[in-house]
């Protein structure tokens, strides 16, 4: 009685690679570079505990009750204040609290995508965005990336037919780990303004920078030429998942008030409001200044793990492989010699009890067969060394590698 009823949607939602991979991750003794999980060691468990007590004692009835769809007002105000700049004056009306950043992606799809609608994405890009938008029937115009992020010179040709938006992850991109350079950020904004195509700036990792100098978000770069928030061509997505705890499911969107108001209307039909207690936890953590200090600790840990993985890659991976050197975030992107299929490699790797995500999962329109995403945040340096060593050994034994290393003359 059920099958014929969801044929269409099922086809649109067939990609569930992340979920299947999380299942592998949960197997005991697997060294997993597959997920995008924060290190549990850095969760501020005790602080969450004492803040929950404080909230419940002072404000228990509000914390456990329904709340406004737009979110907990003090949290919205605080986020508005934090992202305001000399050129950009934001208020709570510019902020919608979401049930994690993933919900922001879904709400954007619900409001703006009808079947067949084209949107511009980086290639590769965040798999969760594809999953959210596939369900609405999105089509993708892709722009390749290099070590400085999106190849903005290739963007212009994608903007001719008024796509729905440009989706950009400027900082420590998922999956590639690359950061969009300042010159490219400026050019991207120019093009967006010229062609009147909005930009979705997804920035879950921006505060997790371990090296190099911070770059301004597109949100601020756009504001220098365009002073009122209502004319902003940007919707900025942020989240507490990577800097506090993903299990809380609290994120935010910043944008023009009239768009935020429509998105809130969409959210009302989706989950009424984000868990009130959780929003209050995030607010207290942010308001007290604890969060800023806490982020420094996360960065210190992750820097060690990134350095450990880069060192292990140099030691164990073949010289014919290449990989990104991210200044922050959670991921390194490795490119194997042409001809190596990282999907096939994964099934062998799992037998060796080590996992990663084949890069092709992040390509909307196919490609990337010889690439892989390696997460360095969720494993200790010791396990990183061991896991990369196993992958390196596996690569050395591949018949394809032999061909590449000593081609038949």
Positions 368 through 407 that interact with a copy of itself (CB under 8 A): none
Residue 239's nearest CA partner among 205, 192, 195 is 205
Q: Which residues of 157-175 are buried (b: 16+ CB within 10 A; e: fewer)?
A: ebbeeebbbbbbbbbbbbb
Pick from 11, 28, 29, 61 the residue near a copy of itself by CB under 8 A: 61
Considering only residues 204 through 243, tell me which ones interact with a copy of itself, judged by CB under 8 A.
231, 233, 241
Pick from 24, 52, 159, 394 the residue near a copy of itself by CB under 8 A: 52
Q: Decide: is 270 part of the binding site for a copy of itself (CB under 8 A).
A: yes
337 DSSP 8-state letter:
P
Considering only residues 18 through 47, tell me which ones interact with a copy of itself, judged by CB under 8 A.
18-19, 22, 26, 35, 37-38, 40-41, 43, 45-46
Q: What are phi and psi of 160, to 5 degrees?
A: -65, -35
Determine how many CB atoms are found less than 10 A away from the CB of residue 146.
Answer: 11
Q: Which stretch binds a copy of itself (CB under 8 A): 194-202, 294-302, 322-330, 349-357?
A: 194-202
What are the angstrom distances between the C-alpha of 118 and each of 43, 147, 322? 39, 26, 32
Considering only residues 318 through 377, tell me which ones interact with a copy of itself, judged by CB under 8 A.
none
Pick from 32, 69, 142, 178 the residue near a copy of itself by CB under 8 A: 69
| Smaller CB separation from a copy of itself, 69 or 179 | 69
Q: Decide: is 5 part of the binding site for a copy of itself (CB under 8 A).
A: yes
Q: Decide: is 160 part of the binding site for a copy of itself (CB under 8 A).
A: no
CA dihedral 84, 36, 289, 54 (to 10 degrees): 120
Q: Which residues of 341-371 are buried (b: 16+ CB within 10 A; e: fewer)?
A: ebeebbeebbeeebbbbbbbbbbbeeebbbb
Q: Decide: is 112 part of the binding site for a copy of itself (CB under 8 A).
A: yes
Task: Please report which residue ranges of 113-203 form alpha helices under DSSP H.
Answer: 127-134, 182-195
| Smaller CB separation from a copy of itself, 115 or 144 | 115
Min CB(199)–a copy of itself separation in Å: 10
Considering only residues 129 through 158, tell me which ones interact with a copy of itself, judged by CB under 8 A.
131-132, 134-135
Site string for a copy of itself, 80-99 (x = CB under 8 A): -------------------x
| Smaller CB separation from a copy of itself, 165 or 333 | 165
Who contacts 98 (Cβ-Cβ below 8 Å, separation ≥6)? 104, 107, 237, 250, 251, 252, 253, 267, 274
Q: Which stretch binds a copy of itself (CB under 8 A): 105-113, 335-343, 348-356, 366-374?
A: 105-113
Q: Decide: is 164 part of the binding site for a copy of itself (CB under 8 A).
A: yes
Site string for a copy of itself, 246-265 (x = CB under 8 A): xxxx------x-xx--x-xx
* Opening angle at CA 84, ends 83 and 88, nearest 5: 125
Min CB(223)–a copy of itself separation in Å: 14
Q: In which element (H, E) is residue 277 found?
A: helix 276-287
Min CB(190)–a copy of itself separation in Å: 14
Q: Decide: is 198 part of the binding site for a copy of itself (CB under 8 A).
A: yes
Contact 39, 363 (CB under 8 A): no
Q: In which element (H, E) is residue 31 found?
A: strand 31-32
d(CA 70, CA 73): 8
Q: Decide: is 58 part of the binding site for a copy of itself (CB under 8 A).
A: no
| Smaller CB separation from a copy of itself, 98 or 370 | 98
Min CB(392)–a copy of itself separation in Å: 28
| Smaller CB separation from a copy of itself, 135 or 383 | 135
Contact 283, 48 (CB under 8 A): no
| Smaller CB separation from a copy of itself, 134 or 173 | 134
| Smaller CB separation from a copy of itself, 185 or 249 | 249
Min CB(18)–a copy of itself separation in Å: 7
Q: Which residues of 15-32 are buried (b: 16+ CB within 10 A; e: fewer)?
A: eebbeebbeebeeeebbb
* Opening angle at CA 70, ends 67 and 76, nearest 5: 100
């Amino acid at each position: 009685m059920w099958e014929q009823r969801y044929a269409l949607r099922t086809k649109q939602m067939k990609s569930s690679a992340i979920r299947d991979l999380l299942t592998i991750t949960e197997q005991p003794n697997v060294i997993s570079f597959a997920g995008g999980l924060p290190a549990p060691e850095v969760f501020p468990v005790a602080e969450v505990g004492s803040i929950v007590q404080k909230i419940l004692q002072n404000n228990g009835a509000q914390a456990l009750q329904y709340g406004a769809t737009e979110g907990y007002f003090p949290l919205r105000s605080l986020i508005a204040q934090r992202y305001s700049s000399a050129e950009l004056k934001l208020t709570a009306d510019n902020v919608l609290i979401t049930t994690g950043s993933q919900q922001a992606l879904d709400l954007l799809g619900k409001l703006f995508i009808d079947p067949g609608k084209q949107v511009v994405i980086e290639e590769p890009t965040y798999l969760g965005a594809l999953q959210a938008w596939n369900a609405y029937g999105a089509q993708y115009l892709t722009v390749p990336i290099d070590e400085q992020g999106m190849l903005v010179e290739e963007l212009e040709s994608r903007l001719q037919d008024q796509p729905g938006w440009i989706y950009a992850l400027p900082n420590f991109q998922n999956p590639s780990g690359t950061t969009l350079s300042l010159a490219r950020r400026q050019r991207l904004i120019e093009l967006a303004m010229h062609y009147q195509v909005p930009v979705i700036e997804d920035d879950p990792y921006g505060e997790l920078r371990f090296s190099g100098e911070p770059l301004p978000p597109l949100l601020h770069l756009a504001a220098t030429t365009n002073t009122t928030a209502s004319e902003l061509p940007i919707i900025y997505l942020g989240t507490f998942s990577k800097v506090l705890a993903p299990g809380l499911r609290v994120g935010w969107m910043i944008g023009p008030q009239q768009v935020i108001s429509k998105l809130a209307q969409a959210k009302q039909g989706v989950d009424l409001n984000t868990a009130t207690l959780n929003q209050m936890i995030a607010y207290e953590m942010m308001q007290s200044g604890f969060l800023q200090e806490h982020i420094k600790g996360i960065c210190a840990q992750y820097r060690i793990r990134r350095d450990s993985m880069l060192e292990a890659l140099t030691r164990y991976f073949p010289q014919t492989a290449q990989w990104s050197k991210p200044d922050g975030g959670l991921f390194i992107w490795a490119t194997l010699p042409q001809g190596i299929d990282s999907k096939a490699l994964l099934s062998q790797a799992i037998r060796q009890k080590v996992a990663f995500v084949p890069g092709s999962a992040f390509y909307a329109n196919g490609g990337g067969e010889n690439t892989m995403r390696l997460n360095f945040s969720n494993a200790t340096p010791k396990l990183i060394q061991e896991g990369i060593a196993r992958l390196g050994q596996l690569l050395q034994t591949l018949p394809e590698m032999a061909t590449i290393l000593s081609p038949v003359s």
